[in-house]
Amino acid sequence: MYLSGLDELDQKILQLLIENARYSYSEIGERVGVSRVAAKAHINLLEERGIIEKYTAVINPQQLGGAVSCYFEIETTPETFAEVTEQLYNCPTVTQIYRMTGKCRLHVHAVAAGQAELEQFMAETMDRLPGVTSVNTNVILSRIKDIKGLRL
């Protein structure tokens, strides 16, 4: 169990929302054995507690004809770490940034419309980051398994 402190009902509700966030409160209530009002109240509390952050559509970049999806492992000097993180955060090509264990290490995911946009991103963003001591780039060829949400 990943989330201690959640009762069985909340766990079931979260599992349904992970499966399909478009379920109505009535559908969720019916599936977990409570009223629509009770399901809505539980979901509202999960949102208020920050357990549910948002609802969104998940787009598969590989299905967008030519999109290139990459992961970068970036290591910076301690004094430039915050600046590098801020520059990457403000770049629309970057979709995810994670701080990893190790000396000032970032794991960055980026999606470009195509090879030309990826090259532009590399030249105008990645190559200009201050204090970078190493970069490892991996282009994603295909998606084999990609779990959305938290596995409960």
Question: ∠ CA(50), CA(97), CA(115), 5° rounding?
Answer: 135
pLDDT at 151: 56
Domains, in order of start, for the chain: 8-48 (1.10.10.10), 61-139 (3.30.70.920)
What is the spatial distance between Cα 63 and Cα 26, in angstroms, rounded to a whole number? 33
Mean pLDDT of 52-67: 77
CB 112 within 8 A of CB 68: yes
**Which amino acid is present at 94?**
V
Question: Which residues, at least 6 apart from 111, have a Cβ–Cβ distance to it below 8 Å?
Answer: 61, 67, 68, 69, 70, 93, 95
Q: H-type helices in the chain, by residue range?
A: 8-19, 25-32, 36-48, 81-89, 115-124
Report the distance separating Cα 14 and Cα 47, nearest Å.
11
Query: What are residue 100's DSSP bridge partners?
Result: 105
Predicted confidence band at 3 (pLDDT cuts at 50, 70, 90)?
low
Q: What is the pLDDT of residues 101-143, one digit of tens each?
A: 877 799 999 999 889 999 999 999 999 999 999 999 999 888 8
Specify the pLDDT at position 1: 43
What is the average pLDDT value for the chain, to the nearest integer?
88
Share of the chain above pLDDT 90, in %: 64
**pLDDT(150) > 90:** no
pTM, to two decimals: 0.68
